[in-house]
Amino acid sequence: MAKRKTDLLQGTLDLIVLRLLQSGPANGWELTQSIQAVSRGVLDVNYGSMYPALRRLEAQGWVKARWSVSANNRRARYYELTRSGHEQLEAERASWDRFARALGRILKFT
Amino acid sequence: MFASFMVRLRALVHREAAEQDLTDELRFHLEQDTERHIARGMAPEDAAHVARRAFGNVAIARERARDAWTWHWFERLRQDLRYALRALRHSPFFTIGVVVTFALGIGINATMFGVVDTLFLRSPAGVTDPGRIARVYVRRDFGAQGIFTGAGATFPTYLDLRDHVPAFAQVAAVVRVISVELGRGADARDVNVAAVSYQYFPMLGIQPALGRLFTDTEDRTGGDRVAVLTYRFWQQHYGSDSTVIGRALPIGKGVYTVIGIGPKGFNGIDIAGVDLFLPIHPAAEADFAPPEAIGSRNVSWISTIARLRPDVAVETAAAQATVAYRRGVLSEGPSRDSTAQVRLGPIQEARRPGEMSSDAKVALWIGVVAAVVLLIGCANVANLMLVRAVRRRRELAVRASLGAGRGGLVRLLLLEAFVLATAGGISAVILALWAGKVARSFLLPTLPADAPMVEGRVLLFTVAGVLLTTALTGVAPAVQAGRADLVGALKGGGHGTTGQGGGTRTALLVIQVALTLVLLVGAGLFVGSLRKAQGIDLGFDADRVLSVSMNLRAAGMTRSQGNDQYLRLLDRFQRLPGVERAAVSQGTPFGVSFFQTVRAEGRDSMPDLESGGPYYQVVTPGYIATMGIRMLRGRDFTAGDVVGSGQVAIVGATFAKLVWPGNEAIGRCLYLGEDSTTACTRVVGIAADAKRGSVTDAASLLYYLPFAQISTPAIQAIFVRARAATSGLSGALRREVQSVGNLPYATIEPISAQVAPQLRSWRLGASTFTAFGLLALLIAATGIFAVLSYSVSQRTKEIGVRVALGAQRADIVRMVVGEGIRAALIGTVLGGAGAIVLGRAIASLLYQVPATDPVVLGGVVVTLLIVVLAAAWFPAHRASRIAPTIALRAE
């Protein structure tokens, strides 16, 4: 099985989804909308990546899913962070911060 | 971690539900998008279209989402499994052939493992920490006569070991007595008894299921006569009735009160189960030992077992026991046992030190043979799989080019082997359920019939067998597939060259032929031994003669009372319509022999034979004819040969020939007994030699004396010659015995039943080696047939060219057959060497057959080559029919 080139992106997408779910349960569509809105359109999530990411996070036990009713009264699958999801978010956020700081230092270096 | 596992597990178990979730969720997303587009003023149809386009490829999103939640390898395995099953379904003959091969191969191994496990590996059920239990043996060196290691011990030796060996935590004495009479009269039955000292149960960690076990006050001279039943016996004969406790049972000569029931599953520590236990002192007093046995250092009648103290080495214990033993035997003066050594063996009686019993040896050998058959089967299957893999090169190459990868191909082929081996393993267990019963009745006839045929350990062994066969048969084709030149396979139109895998295939054929040859030679040697043994002239006719014997002494009768009973029964028997004739005897074939000093007219001493003697047998008139012994000259005893009529004797042929060589024996005198003044006992007849101790004994000096002229004989059996078959007669005889009343249980059996066990190890060896050898031959023949057929189909083009260039049919046949014969010849040479090694190894189990019998070896080689020729002929014949035009166009 060939390794996907989206590994790095996937990692970031996981972090983003975890962060968004920290504010409360959301369904997949709301998450894609939030990413567009919060990133002011800079990040446009490939829809085809969102659902695999959610399944992956679910399989890891970081989020759990249940069927619920959406704002416009439709049946939608809602995701929320589990306790290990919270821990994972903290860990990933910290490692991202470290990475970003290091990258910043390298870019400023002349 | 656990949550993640559960999600994946749920995805596996509820595949449908998980799929549905995903579908619903994606639909929701699309609907949301569509709705938003509509809200922004798009037409509904356009909105749905735009949303779908923006969403991208639903199938891929779905596929990737699914990947995230299932175990990847598991999913792939499912696919491969489905593919393997489909591929196997497409070649049913191959599949059935392989499964049958595996079923037989694994099945006989599982069966034999069951036997070997029972004999050598498994500890008796119910024993606590069996690893610390030791059986005590004594090794005696008799110089030229050899070294003998035996478990027999005297009672004082047991006390020496019990009291003077610090390494032993506990020591118990055991004496096993088979066929003891339980009950009286018509209800009497035979039971197996173990008389044990009181430490026996605590030492083994046995707790009663009901009641109590023996105390030390019962195990002493004059102690209470009590009995403990085994759980199985209690269940089978008393229907688990708890009121049996306290009941008085007549056992042998004594009457014993039941005090307890042993725990479920415990039947003593021997292969042959025990029905009830008695304390050794009271039992010995009653009738299980000579009266003086308890105190005597001359009567060996018990065996001893011991529990070693924790953290004491076996060697230390044996050394201490040797010291105690020697000091004991020397306490009553010099003894030849003063150099004897104590050996400690494990709790399994078959693993005794020194010479193994020949049944145990045969069982081990059959185990080895079973493993060899499995190896042959594996070699054959591996070959078939190789052939198959090469035939499927194109298909596999296509799969590889579609991205299956070499790893995938290897996995697929291994999986195919695994599927086949598993199917074989399942059939094998079914086979073992049935075959186990048969095998045990042959190999472990004394094992209680209700012992399970297939239990956990046999199942585990079967699983190991499946994995092993998978590895043995799957690896070679898989490796080859991993190496295969895929591009070549695609370009070459699916036809490889003969070279591919040819070396491996030939090697596997060679292995099969060699191993088959070894097995067939083994079969030949055993069959030869059996035929020699069966051909032994017993000197009597065992076919229609029944022996009827009773333990009258144990029933409390004196010798003359016992004789009267026998004679009365004889009289009744002789009047039965189914009886041709009958006679009684003191001394029986394969039973007890009697010896007394005898002097012969005209000789200073009797000839000295290795078998000892001369032996004598006391019989009533008609015994010679009843047994079917040929009267060579002179006459049988008559009713007129009584006290005062002049003493007479009949001598055996060897007796006549060796005592009075070259002279007439009839009319000569024998002088019986130490006293030189005894009257002449005149020889009136010469009878053919009859076997005495065992069927393989050399002829011995034997003579017969008439019952009426001997003062103190003790009749041991009545022999009855049936008019027709013996089958109906034994019932009639038993009714006669029971109608007399107050007689103990009578053992009635054809005397052929005493011959059969003596031939058992040869019969076993002959039948199993022959069956397995023929199976191996069949497997090897199909292997050669399949490989050559394949080779021919691969070389169609080449053969076509040869024919086009003028090759004759005979040339083609010779070429193909030659390929098979070459492998067979190499195999024959290797197998011949193996057979010589085998012959040496089993020499001690053979009878009058040289270990490397050129006739057997030659016969087997010829048979094998004929079979190989026949197997090779069919593909060769087909090859010779190949028409060059068709063959060349075939590509």
Domains of chain A are 13-108 (1.10.10.10)
Q: What is the pLDDT of residues B762-777, one digit of tens each?
A: 888 888 888 888 888 9
Task: Give the pLDDT band (50/70/90) at residue A1.
Answer: very low
Bridging pattern class, strands B303-308 and B254-261: unpaired
Residue B740 has pLDDT above 70, yes or no: yes
Distance from C-alpha of B457 to C-alpha of B463, rounded to nearest angstrom:
10
How many residue pairs bridge chain A and chain B with CB atoms within 8 Å of each other? 79
Condensed to tens digits (0 to 9), the pLDDT of residues B846-860 reads 888 888 888 888 999
Yes or no, beta carbons of A61 and B2 under 8 Å apart: yes
Q: Is the separation of the CB atoms in B427 and B107 below 8 Å?
A: yes
| B285 within domain boundaries | yes
Domain count for chain B, please give it.
4
User: What does residue B181 show for φ and ψ, rounded to 5 degrees?
Assistant: -85, 130
Label the pairing between strands B226-229 and B254-261. parallel
Among B35, B54, B68, whose Cβ lies nearest the Cβ of A52?
B68
Per-residue pLDDT tens for B80-138?
888 888 888 888 888 888 888 888 888 888 888 888 888 888 888 889 999 999 999 99
Which residues span the domain enclosing B29? 2-70
pLDDT band at B488 (very low <50, low <70, confident <90, very high): low
Instruction: Return the pLDDT at B605.
Output: 80
Query: Residues in chain B, how many?
Result: 891
**Distance between CA B389 and CA B367 in Å, rounded?**
32
Are A55 and B2 a contacting pair at CB < 8 A? no
Helical (H) or strand (E) element with B210: strand B210-211
- Report yes or no on B78 lying in a domain: no
Show the tokens assigned to B495.
């036809």
Q: Across the interface, which of A29, A48, A59 has its CB nearest the CB of B56?
A: A48
Same domain? For B582 and B675 the reply is yes
Phi, psi angles (nearest 5°) of residue B770 = -65, -50
Q: What's the token pair of residue B773? A: 């050898």
DSSP B305: E
The answer to whether the beta carbons of residues B522 and B773 sit under 8 Å apart is: yes
Residue of chain B whose Cα is closest to the Cα of A67: B21
Q: A61 and B32: CB-CB below 8 Å? A: no
Q: At what angle do helices B752-794 and B358-391 cross, to 10 degrees?
A: 20
Query: Where does a domain end: B347, B371, B401?
Result: B347
Q: Which of B132-141, B209-218, B810-819 has the lowest mean pLDDT?
A: B810-819
- Closest residue of A to B33, CA-based? A29
Of A104-108, B307-311, B561-565, B605-609, give the lowest mean pLDDT range.
B605-609
| Residues A18 and A71 sit within 8 Å (Cβ to Cβ) | no
Given B347, B367, B385, which residue is the final one in a domain? B347
Number of Cβ within 10 Å of residue B190's Cβ equals 15
**What's the pLDDT at B499?**
47
Q: Are residues B634 and B646 both part of a single domain?
A: yes
Q: Where are the beta strands (DSSP E) in B448-605?
A: 545-550, 579-586, 594-595, 598-600
What is the pLDDT confidence band of residue A2, given thresholds at 50, 70 and 90? very low
**Which positions in chain A touch B22 (Cβ < 8 Å)?**
51, 55
If asked whether residues B450 and B461 sit together in one domain, one would say yes
Percent of chain B predicted with pLDDT > 90: 19
Asked whether the beta carbons of residue A74 and residue B8 sit closer than 8 angstroms, the reply is no
Please check whether residue B123 lies inside any domain of the structure.
no
Backbone angles phi, psi at B716, to 5 degrees: -110, -25
Considering only CB atoms, which residues of chain A are within 8 Å of chain B?
1, 27-29, 32, 46-49, 51-56, 58-61, 64-65, 67, 70, 72, 74-77, 82, 84
**Distance between CA B569 and CA B566 in Å, rounded?**
5
What's the pLDDT score for residue B497? 45
Interatomic CA distance for residues B491 and B884, integer angstroms: 23
Q: Is the pLDDT of residue B382 over 80?
A: yes
Residues in B touching A13 (Cβ below 8 Å): none
Q: What is the pLDDT of residues B579-637, one digit of tens each?
A: 899 999 887 777 767 777 888 888 888 887 776 678 888 999 999 999 989 999 899 99
Tell me which residue has tokens 């492998």: B823
- Alpha-carbon Rg for chain A, nearest whole angstrom, is 15
Select the residue of A32, A53, A58 nearest B7 (Cβ to Cβ).
Answer: A58
Eight-state DSSP code of residue B674:
S
Identity of residue A10: Q
User: Any idea what DSSP says for residue B537?
Assistant: -
Interface predicted TM-score of the whole assembly (ipTM), two decimals: 0.79
Statement to judge: residues B576 and B469 lie in one domain: no
How far is the C-alpha of B212 from the C-alpha of B259, rounded, in Å?
A: 6
Q: What is the mean pLDDT of chain B?
A: 82
Closest CB from B28, B64, B65 relative to A76 = B28
Chain center to CA of B570: 40
- A61 chain-B contacts, CB cut-off 8 A: 1-4, 7
Decide if B103 is inside a domain.
no
Whether residue A60 and residue B4 make contact (CB cut-off 8 A), yes or no, is: yes
Give the model's confidence band at B236: pLDDT under 50 very low, under 70 low, under 90 confident, else very high: confident
Among B347, B372, B394, identify where a domain stops. Answer: B347
Instruction: Give every CB contact of residue B825 below 8 A, 6+ residues apart in sequence.
Output: none
d(C-alpha B31, C-alpha B25), whole Å: 10
Q: Which of A31-45, B210-224, B361-375, B779-793 shows the lowest mean pLDDT across its residues?
A: A31-45
Beta-carbon separation of A55 and B57 below 8 A: no
B238 and B148 in one domain?
Answer: yes
Three-state DSSP at B795 gives: coil
For residue B695, is it within any domain?
yes
Residue B110 is predicted with a pLDDT of 86
Q: What is the pLDDT of residues B557-566, one digit of tens each?
A: 788 888 888 9
pLDDT at B673: 79
Can you read off the two tokens belonging to residue B662? 């070259």
CA nearest neighbour of B709 among B767, B776, B772, B644: B644
Q: Taking CB atoms and an 8 Å limit, are A76 and B25 in contact across chains?
A: yes
pLDDT band at residue B390 using 50, 70 and 90 as cut-offs: confident
Q: Are strands B615-619 and B702-706 parallel, antiparallel or unpaired?
A: parallel
Q: How does the average pLDDT of chain A come out, rounded?
A: 80
Q: How far is CA B107 from CA B415, B434, B435, B517, in A?
A: 21, 10, 8, 22
CA–CA dist B410, B381 (Å, integer): 17
> In this predicted structure, what is the pLDDT of residue B212?
93
For residue B69, give the nearest of A29, A59, A74 by CB distance.
A59
Q: With 50 as the cut, is the pLDDT of residue B496 above it? A: no
Question: How high is the pLDDT of residue B56?
Answer: 62
Q: Which residues pair with B581 in a beta bridge?
A: B721
Same domain, residue pair B432 and B309: no
Give me the DSSP letters along B560-601.
HHHHHHHHHHHHHHHTSTTEEEEEEEES-TTS--EE--EEET
Please tell me whether residues B362 and B495 are part of one structural domain: yes
Question: Each residue of B181-193: pLDDT tens digit?
Answer: 787 766 677 788 8
pLDDT of residue A5: 32
pLDDT in tens, B670-722: 888 777 677 888 999 999 988 877 777 777 888 999 988 887 778 888 999 98
Helix/strand/coil for B854? helix
Structural domain contains residue B98: no
DSSP string, B626-638: HTT--EEEE----
Q: How confident is the model at residue B272 (pLDDT cuts 50, 70, 90)?
A: confident
Q: From A68, which residue of chain B is nearest by alpha-carbon distance? A: B25
Whether residue B565 is found in the same domain as residue B499 = no
* Residues 6+ away with beta carbon under 8 Å from B868: B513, B780, B781, B784, B820, B821, B824
Q: Which of A9, A17, A45, A55 to mutate to test the interface with B (most CBs of B within 10 A)?
A: A55
Residue that wins the pLDDT comparison between A46 and B189: B189
* Contacts (Cβ under 8 Å, ≥6 apart) of B32: A29, A70, A74
B745 and B823, same domain (yes or no):
no
pLDDT grade for B450, boundaries at 50, 70 and 90: low
pLDDT on residue B384: 83
Q: Is residue B507 part of a domain?
A: yes
The mean pLDDT value for B230-246 works out to 90
Give the residue from B10, B23, B26, B32 with the most A CB atoms within 10 Å of its CB, the best one to mutate.
Answer: B32
Find the range with the poorest average confidence among B399-408, B616-625, B653-662. Answer: B399-408
Helix pair B58-69, B2-13: axis angle to 10 deg: 120
How much is the pTM?
0.67
**Residues belonging to chain B with any Cβ–Cβ distance to chain A shorter than 8 Å:** 1-4, 7-8, 11, 21-22, 24-26, 28-29, 31-33, 35, 54-57, 60-61, 64-69, 72
Query: What residue spans of B264-331 are helical by DSSP H?
Result: 280-283, 314-330
Task: Tally Cβ neighbours within 10 Å of residue B335.
Answer: 14
Least confident span in A63-77, B46-60, B522-536, B595-609: B46-60
SS (H, E, C) B19-82: HHHHHHHHHHHHHHHHHHHHHCCCCHHHHHHHHHHHHCCHHHHHHHHHHHHCCHHHHHHHHHHH
Backbone angles phi, psi at B207, to 5 degrees: -110, 145
Cα distance from B8 to chain A (closest Cα, Å)?
A: 6
B509 shares its domain with B636:
no
pLDDT at B784: 85
Residue B725 within a domain: yes
pLDDT band at B145 (very low <50, low <70, confident <90, very high): low
Name the residue facing A61 among B3, B32, B57 (closest C-beta): B3
Q: Which amino acid is at B852?
A: T
**CA geometry: angle at B599 spanning B594 and B603, to 5°?**
135
- The CA distance from B356 to B491, in Å, is 63
Residues 6+ apart with CB under 8 A from B678: B671, B672
If asked whether residues B372 and B308 sit together in one domain, one would say: no
User: Tell me, what DSSP letter sits at residue A1?
Assistant: -
Chain A contacts of B3, Cβ < 8 Å?
A: 61, 64, 82, 84
pLDDT value at residue B498: 43
pLDDT band at B431 (very low <50, low <70, confident <90, very high): confident
Residues B321 and B250 in one domain: yes
Residue A29: which of B29, B54, B60 has the nearest Cβ? B29
